[in-house]
Chains A and B, each alone.
Chain A
Amino acid sequence: NAGVTQTPKFQVLKTGQSMTLQCAQDMNHNSMYWYRQDPGMGLRLIYYSASEGTTDKGEVPNGYNVSRLNKREFSLRLESAAPSQTSVYFCASRGRGHNQPQHFGDGTRLSIL
């Protein structure tokens, strides 16, 4: 079982470059999420998609855009990367029922120089 797959696992960018982080889940989940994890800050929600065709801002959306391409895939785009966006990015998905657990990918480690 693949679960939630994130690509790439590592990336180094220069300030001002753009890139898209990919996420796919094979559990037929409706809801998908993007988080960033910084030392001492826990996980902070960037954007989420409650269902195919919908996206909403989370706690820290500035500098990011998302696309829910289909039920399986949810991508995160940095249009003009900044050093403050150096972080570990996690994608997660959740099945129906708001008490259901979120299933996480293994993260993308992004460094912006």
Chain B
Amino acid sequence: TQLLEQSPQFLSIQEGENLTVYCNSSSVFSSLQWYRQEPGEGPVLLVTVVTGGEVKKLKRLTFQFGDARKDSSLHITAAQPGDTGLYLCAGVLGSQGNLIFGKGTKLSVKP
């Protein structure tokens, strides 16, 4: 069974702090996707990283794909209460393009 280890599982911080979420695996992925999920809704894609070593920025969010395409990180700068939610990483496997999800990081940003 391929596993995608995501950490931390919970994160509670004050507005303005920085944070990093990690996803690690022993498997090589063709790409890795990050999703954000609000309560009562389905996950929504934030970004897809494809190339080893790739860095993508989305406003205050920075996503990095490891050189060996086995790990990824999400860094949020100056977190805001609107960043609160469940963040999920998902590795894309094989020609079918099925996703293996990490267990998620529940982020709470307090004003």
For B30, the chain A residues whose CB sits under 8 A away are 98-99
Q: How far is the CB of B81 from chain A (nearest CB, A)?
A: 22
For A48, the chain B residues whose CB sits under 8 A away are 96, 98
- Residues of B in contact (CB 8 Å), total 27
Q: How far is the CB of B40 from chain A (nearest CB, A)?
A: 7
**B33 at the A interface (CB under 8 A):** yes
For A53, the chain B residues whose CB sits under 8 A away are none
A-B pairs under 8 A by CB, number: 61
**B31 at the A interface (CB under 8 A):** yes
Tell whether, in the assembled complex, residue A106 and residue B42 are in contact, meaning their CB atoms are under 8 Å apart: yes
Tell whether, in the assembled complex, residue B97 and residue A98 are in contact, meaning their CB atoms are under 8 Å apart: yes
Q: Which of A44, A50, A106 contacts B101 (CB 8 A)?
A: A44
For A98, the chain B residues whose CB sits under 8 A away are 30-31, 92, 94-97
The chain A residues found within 8 Å of chain B, CB to CB, are: 4, 31, 33, 40-45, 48, 50, 58-59, 90, 92, 94, 97-102, 104-107
List 7 A-B pairs, minimum CB-CB distance, nearest first. A98-B97, A104-B42, A101-B45, A42-B103, A43-B101, A42-B101, A99-B31
